[in-house]
Structure 1
């Protein structure tokens, strides 16, 4: 009935059926009523409960007065009440529950105080500046909600309500509490959130019955000493205040079960916290806590422990005693002990690490990951050779320098290459140097190698650099690293300095320095402006935001806004650490190289910049790692889990302790072990160098090189299959030509459409892949990494290497897919008169993650059928429902990149379109979690605007996707077209989508840490 009411211009008239005399409860909510049906009072002689919520009443209907002698509950919330009517209120003398929330009441009538039986009163979300004095007469009132009004002081009338047990006065500008608030001795639950309180009076501490107290979002710096008298307190929320020290008055509250101190300025936690022995929930996130007391492990009943966003480097010993903790958040701390990777896995892994450390001798591993990035021909490979190759010791700066050069010019980059470099043998400091290829074809795999705790060297060719080249040679790389690894340390190195004049060199280095500062300033100011918009939206009540379609964050919940604000704050607090100035280098000058080497060493040894370099590991874990890289297993592509278990026994690790060690080695990027993958969990990929060589094969776009590899692979093919295969007869020239032609066609198909059959992949990968099992495992691994998918693999059926075809989306060249019957590229074809279009759009103002669209197209393959791929678009079906995924690169500097997911259906069947796109939205959200420093926005495009063909459709906030549909609302207004209304089913999904699915993990997060 609610939907019909909102869609029709006239107010509906309800006609009550006869014989209602025995009805005791009547719900007329969600009907758009402005008046109650005639004869209501005479027809309902036994009515006790009347619900009129979510209608259009401007006053209490006079007919309600006829029910006054027997009505005990009345709900008129979510209406348009501006007044109640004294006569109607006076008549409701038997009322026990009255709900007037979410209206527009500026005042309450004095007659309210005459309702002697009233026990529950809710007047929240109105416009009350004061309460009537008569309210003090409600001697039986137990629950009162006055939150979200316009009170400017605590109403003294309430102090007379001796029976009051629950009171909510949150979100009023009280600015203080009366000393005699102690009169409310029966009070058990008190809400004072966002009441602008700076202190609490001593009398507050006499509220001895208090069990739950909400004091969050105030300006409190301390609690009265007598606060410890509140011995019945079980739940206390002090989040978002100004506490610099942990309030000592909390420590004697032995019955406390939930304590929230998030978003304060605490620097430590007292050891006496162990006295809170009944504590189940402890939230200390987003403070400045540097360490935890050893005694915290005595809180063995804890079920929730939230510590993220602090400065904790070391967790206390025996932390595994907190075995009941289910909700555990520790990210954004500079953890060394246990290592960050162990802590992120959870309490059981921390327990296993600490137990292992106690069993074996600890070992320090000073080894740092160094990544060389930059455009093609920037000089990365030459720089790597000059830094890492051995030189004649003691070569003087001005002496015979020939001995100091590389013995021969280094080869051209072969893709991504890894080198181990002992930078200082005396200090045992080693770098693992990753030379990331500058060619665009490698962009899809580069992000796997960008990891926290690494030193990034951005290499710029100063000889060819021009100020206009800054966005592509420097700016885009900084955006990319900042999005993938917030707060990363970046050093800018300028190569080919010898090809520049002295003044030219100085000007170019200064220009890079100046433009970096300008880019950082622009980005930070933009984020600050966006954060301010969120603050302004939070300052308005949710009801006000939901009533104005033109308001920023229209309809978005406070919870989602706070999440948004926290993300902006995170982005602002975790800017890149860019070392200045630019270091110009000539690889032919050993003085330049020595200066660069000294700079890298001094940065690497800085404990505050790279705390992980000094982390301590169990000796058995280090031995296990070393054993994996010793002959004969070092040469193999992979080991079975049992092979690793045998190595574990040699390292002193029993089978039950092996899992934690392998998990750590995986998380820290030493090897790959996917315990969550049915297809891969029985195998350990320890030879990362060979895996990188295999990846390089796929991302060289040189057709002659690919054809050469295939021709090499076909020679001696019979031997590779083993003794069971008959020896091949020598091929004739015509057969050789035919084979070469076929292979050439395969190469063409790969470079144009990303298509390769499994048997040709096997030829490409010789000699890396020998056995069929190697090939199958490798293809499973590539699929998990999001690099390819099998076109014709059916669930539950074994992979047939001779017939399976694989698609590598990053190679697809045609701009749009082949034409489909239901769509012509942008608009619905022949369907617009019946179909409504759903379109979710992701917008990326600063940077679009490289390779994201290609990897996303792999991730969604399990959800779709009958797909057709283009370079920037995918047409497919979810069951019988069409979906289209589109990527639109930015057309100019001020334009964002966008990625959209769309479907269509008739309005009655729009749930099928939601069912089609929701899993695709959630898959994209999972991938975007790999980019914690990325700023992007999500919007739901207005279906009415899309149907009109508007070039700039209105965009509803994407946060609405994670919120339930508003109760009783059938339509919402599109502000782009005046008063045009959009059905709520076209904006809100039937059930909220998952914002941050934490159960799904991507290989990208695993592979990249070293």
Structure 2
């Protein structure tokens, strides 16, 4: 029987992707929270360093041993708030732990995501610490974090077998489930830890037998059952029954015999009604009917009076019965993804309710009855409804810890929210909030996570809110000390092709007179000017150089809060030139800054006839519109593909682009695509024709339009941001410093400016951080070599880039030629730069002397260039060093990938054969970008992968390098449709796939990180089929590609090979050449481990649409779904 869910049900399911994190959430790290500067307390710093003497001293001086502060631990993307004991547990220092506990540290204290020190010790595999915390200090072995994970869940998830044994010996509860109903065994299965699965199942069996003499827990999850086995229905003593993810449409009448059930999971089945058989289960405490087709809960539900957890999310409920109030012991109720508009009045009787999940329903206001359980409610989730406000009485939720009200239409936040002294987690992302209460900062004492993303915030400004609640507190404190000032100032960007008239247009707008730019005075890279466009408006005008050599620099200065003026020379414009003169710029803005405001301006109309102006303007608009429709269609097609797969329960064909991709991964992709579709550029579908020559035709109208557009509160609500006067004054002082010749200011100099404006050093960081977010200054607080300087004029940094990335290469070469070297070394310097991108620090220093005010500290310059991914250091020694020809150790060498222009060296074909040799295997990851090639992406990628590779040989469109014992081959290609692709591949002896994946995934991770800077760019990753790449026609025929989503999924249990449709039915691909290993997965699994995926004790294993090599001897009750190909080994008896 198939699950014939309706499309409305499917529609609800897509927003599951909203809360899914890209990184491991077992020890949660919320990516929406912007990292703040990490200033560790002395005790935390001493603990992390393992300085027991210092720890002892600080403890004796009275340092708070339970105090939390932000610390950066390994494998976390950002700093988290930890106690000293959490830090000691993570680094594994038993001596420090003894000191802290002796001083009164709480053994079961929580960090900001609810993890105890034991959680951290387990996750970081600190065996001795786990033993000590359990045996010596009595840590709570069953404690849950915010995700519902116990230490056992984490040990199973990570595959830490030794620690798992320690936990099991303490009698830890094996049946505890996390927030979504998964046990430790489920986590071990999902992550491919077969030895852990085997141990847990053995332990569970022994535990049940020794404790009860019979099974009290039955798990039949993912067994494709359309009926419950009779032997299960005969186990009247069973207490926990898991039947999730099957095909059950009804329960049998004799199900009522299971009267001892306390826990029942029936989620992800085909139930269309609440099973009446459940009314006989009076002992039931935990029930999941999630993800079915149930449209009604009956009044008789009141008989389940012992119910503590009720999960009915993902159904078709329009209302709840009034009798639900009789479930007086209910602690957790999850009804998200339904069609609810209100709660019954009896809901207020649920005085033990702790967790209430109502996201993605039809609520127009937070139900008042939900506030009546304020003495117990800890979690309230009402995201993705139709809320227009949060209630004034929200402070009735006295013990609330988590509120998710994101993706609504909320315009105001009540001041009473600030009274929630226990609130730790708050999301109001994707709403219409312009102002937060002036007491919002007081939540900093408890609030650990805040998301205000995608709100038109004015007070505090968006840039302050991005930094979190502590920054909001500092901002509001500063407003209390000084006057509030409205600063109507914004950025305007002029961009377009060379000679499009950008600089002349800038002069005409600012000076109201014609000052045409001569070719010799054209903009090199970028110029910045201040324009007082109106009494109420100051614009910071960025005039970008149009030559393509400057393209990659521009991305660092684009902003979502800027007005973008795209200029096109109408005299030169022809329809065939649209892509070069208009299209690429519009696509770049959309890809880098989704939702950008763009105004297209046609210049040089004085040189065109009125008819030509009209026809060319119409053509530009038509082609822009066609481009937008084409881009929308690309996104909509991908969304439709996902919709079809999830709404259709049939098997996915091997050739399908989503074959093998999990539902969770599909939802993530769908959510991202939908966000891209909703964040299209704000583009006026007409061209403003102007002339910068006398008599300035159209200039006055354009000026009025730009000012009106900037002052439009609906388009630029953040323009009227409210700031402390001290911050505004500091900005003015820093702007005044731009008149001087220096490229940066020392932090001590900034402190002096701060004092002059009334900002003491301890209040300076928030102001500078705000100005950094706005792009007024650059301050890299997280880079040791750059954190003591402030780049007070970011545009001046382009002076450095002008000298390096000059559109006139001959001039730059002449500058190198002026070095005081002989003609042989001069020629070598020039060739090495143009062919290999090599440049010494001495050469760089010499080039920068061409600046009007050259920098005096080359270390800072080089670190800045490295920070932007423009260059990387090259080792001077070693057999693989491309800098060895310089024969000097005294001068550092750097490679600037932008200058690589040489063709592929001839010997590359000898080192990387066109077809993979038969004795080797090949891993290939391909990234395809649609419609636009991001500026400088490939060059920055080449620079940033350098720490992961060695012995590299670079050319214009490729790299041949190595990581460890394996080669790395990288190539770039751009097809006729301007779709760019980057291919990363490695080869290795057969059987070494897991080791090869380790290096390739690092390179892949660098590319993924860079692509995040282009959130509006459609791109797809693919995994090349190794079998196809080893065929003789591999250079001519395109290989089969598996979906790149598999790179972020765990290998399926028990499967050894996959089928590729490009190959014959008898040919398969080793699964290790498609799925990477998990982080902690052993590189080789024993046959016993592989067999443990298939039940030998009466359970089933179901797999669909794959090819298997399995040994079925000794296995029973194996179910192989449709679309598979079985290649079974011959048993000892000689039978297949």
TM range (shorter): 0.7 to 0.9
Once the two structures are superposed, residues 573-598 of structure 1 have per-residue CA deviations (whole angstroms, 9 ceiling, x without a partner) of 11001123201112123241111111
Counterpart-to-counterpart distance in 1, 2:575 and 2:852: 46
Deviation at 1:679, TM superposition (A): 1.3
Counterpart-to-counterpart distance in 2, 1:552 and 1:821: 31
Counterpart-to-counterpart distance in 1, 2:520 and 2:860: 32
Change (3 A) 1:978 1:201: farther
Work out which of the residue numbers 1034, 1043, 1050 in structure 2 matches 1:964: 1050
Work out which of the residue numbers 749, 754, 766 in structure 2 matches 1:643: 749
Work out which of the residue numbers 476, 479, 500 in structure 1 matches 2:584: 476
Equivalent residue of 1:937, what SS?
strand
Counterpart-to-counterpart distance in 1, 2:940 and 2:902: 17
> Is the 1:268–1:292 contact (alpha carbons within 8 Å) kept by the matching residues of 2?
yes
Counterpart-to-counterpart distance in 1, 2:307 and 2:494: 64
- Which aligned pairs between 1:614-633 and structure 2 lie closer than 5 A? 614-630=720-736
**Residues 1:560 and 2:669 aligned together:** no
Deviation at 1:967, TM superposition (A): 3.2
Which residue of structure 2 aligns with residue 415 of structure 1?
Answer: 524
Which residue of structure 1 aligns with residue 703 of structure 2?
Answer: 597
Change (3 A) 1:187 1:618: same
Which residue of structure 2 aligns with residue 865 of structure 1?
Answer: 950
Which residue of structure 2 aligns with residue 698 of structure 1?
Answer: 804
Deviation at 1:781, TM superposition (A): 0.5
Which residue of structure 2 aligns with residue 303 of structure 1?
Answer: 424
Counterpart-to-counterpart distance in 2, 1:663 and 1:260: 31
**Residues 1:682 and 2:788 aligned together:** yes
Which structure has the greater CA radius of gyration?
A: 1
Work out which of the residue numbers 304, 313, 323 in structure 1 matches 2:434: 313
**Residues 1:803 and 2:925 aligned together:** no
**Residues 1:850 and 2:971 aligned together:** no
Counterpart-to-counterpart distance in 2, 1:953 and 1:972: 15
Which residue of structure 2 aligns with residue 819 of structure 1?
Answer: 907
Deviation at 1:880, TM superposition (A): 2.5
**What number of residue pairs does the alignment pair up?**
863
> Is the 1:93–1:114 contact (alpha carbons within 8 Å) kept by the matching residues of 2?
no
Equivalent residue of 1:371, what SS?
strand
**Residues 1:366 and 2:482 aligned together:** no
Once the two structures are superposed, residues 102-161 of structure 1 have per-residue CA deviations (whole angstroms, 9 ceiling, x without a partner) of 123222356654322121222222222211001112111111122222222111011111
Which residue of structure 2 aligns with residue 108 of structure 1?
Answer: 228
Counterpart-to-counterpart distance in 1, 2:248 and 2:287: 16
**Residues 1:662 and 2:768 aligned together:** yes
Which residue of structure 2 aligns with residue 841 of structure 1?
Answer: 926
Which residue of structure 1 aligns with residue 276 of structure 2?
Answer: 156
Range with bigger deviation, 126-135 or 981-990: 981-990
**Residues 1:117 and 2:237 aligned together:** yes
Once the two structures are superposed, residues 421-463 of structure 1 have per-residue CA deviations (whole angstroms, 9 ceiling, x without a partner) of 43435x1422211111111111221211211111111111111
> Is the 2:421–2:443 contact (alpha carbons within 8 Å) kept by the matching residues of 1?
yes
**Residues 1:424 and 2:533 aligned together:** yes
Change (3 A) 1:361 1:551: same
**Residues 1:285 and 2:390 aligned together:** no
**Residues 1:898 and 2:981 aligned together:** yes
Counterpart-to-counterpart distance in 2, 1:445 and 1:632: 21
Once the two structures are superposed, residues 178-227 of structure 1 have per-residue CA deviations (whole angstroms, 9 ceiling, x without a partner) of 12111111111112121211211212232222112221211112211221
Change (3 A) 1:761 1:133: same
> Is the 1:274–1:295 contact (alpha carbons within 8 Å) kept by the matching residues of 2?
yes
Deviation at 1:794, TM superposition (A): 9.5
Work out which of the residue numbers 641, 662, 675 in structure 2 matches 1:570: 675
> Is the 2:307–2:329 contact (alpha carbons within 8 Å) kept by the matching residues of 1?
yes
Work out which of the residue numbers 383, 389, 397 in structure 2 matches 1:262: 383
Work out which of the residue numbers 207, 210, 225 in structure 1 matches 2:330: 210
Deviation at 1:514, TM superposition (A): 1.4
Work out which of the residue numbers 515, 524, 535 in structure 2 matches 1:406: 515
Which residue of structure 2 aligns with residue 782 of structure 1?
Answer: 865
Deviation at 1:676, TM superposition (A): 0.6
Counterpart-to-counterpart distance in 1, 2:1061 and 2:386: 42
Which residue of structure 2 aligns with residue 497 of structure 1?
Answer: 605
Which residue of structure 2 aligns with residue 276 of structure 1?
Answer: 397
Once the two structures are superposed, residues 614-653 of structure 1 have per-residue CA deviations (whole angstroms, 9 ceiling, x without a partner) of 1111111122222223359832121111111121111211
Equivalent residue of 1:967, what SS?
coil
Change (3 A) 1:146 1:700: same
TM-score (norm. length: structure 2): 0.72
Which residue of structure 1 aligns with residue 1072 of structure 2?
Answer: 985
Deviation at 1:850, TM superposition (A): 1.0
Which residue of structure 2 aligns with residue 454 of structure 1?
Answer: 562
Equivalent residue of 1:444, what SS?
helix
Once the two structures are superposed, residues 646-690 of structure 1 have per-residue CA deviations (whole angstroms, 9 ceiling, x without a partner) of 211112112211111111111111111110101111111113343
Counterpart-to-counterpart distance in 1, 2:709 and 2:501: 22
> Is the 2:528–2:795 contact (alpha carbons within 8 Å) kept by the matching residues of 1?
no
> Is the 1:261–1:285 contact (alpha carbons within 8 Å) kept by the matching residues of 2?
yes
Deviation at 1:769, TM superposition (A): 8.6
> Is the 1:71–1:95 contact (alpha carbons within 8 Å) kept by the matching residues of 2?
no
Counterpart-to-counterpart distance in 1, 2:516 and 2:976: 46
> Is the 2:311–2:334 contact (alpha carbons within 8 Å) kept by the matching residues of 1?
yes
> Is the 1:634–1:687 contact (alpha carbons within 8 Å) kept by the matching residues of 2?
no
Equivalent residue of 2:891, what SS?
coil
Counterpart-to-counterpart distance in 2, 1:827 and 1:347: 56
Structure 2 unmatched ranges of 5 or more = 1-184, 190-204, 879-885, 1081-1136
Change (3 A) 1:72 1:919: closer
Deviation at 1:700, TM superposition (A): 0.8
Deviation at 1:901, TM superposition (A): 2.0
> Is the 1:881–1:912 contact (alpha carbons within 8 Å) kept by the matching residues of 2?
no
Which residue of structure 2 aligns with residue 381 of structure 1?
Answer: 503
Equivalent residue of 1:629, what SS?
helix
Counterpart-to-counterpart distance in 1, 2:487 and 2:774: 12
TM-score (norm. length: structure 1): 0.81
> Is the 2:268–2:292 contact (alpha carbons within 8 Å) kept by the matching residues of 1?
yes
Deviation at 1:944, TM superposition (A): 2.2
Change (3 A) 1:707 1:899: closer
Deviation at 1:773, TM superposition (A): 5.1
Which residue of structure 2 aligns with residue 880 of structure 1?
Answer: 965
Counterpart-to-counterpart distance in 2, 1:299 and 1:326: 13
Counterpart-to-counterpart distance in 1, 2:499 and 2:589: 20
Counterpart-to-counterpart distance in 2, 1:408 and 1:344: 40
> Is the 1:72–1:94 contact (alpha carbons within 8 Å) kept by the matching residues of 2?
no
Deviation at 1:762, TM superposition (A): 1.1
Counterpart-to-counterpart distance in 2, 1:94 and 1:815: 73
Deviation at 1:411, TM superposition (A): 5.0
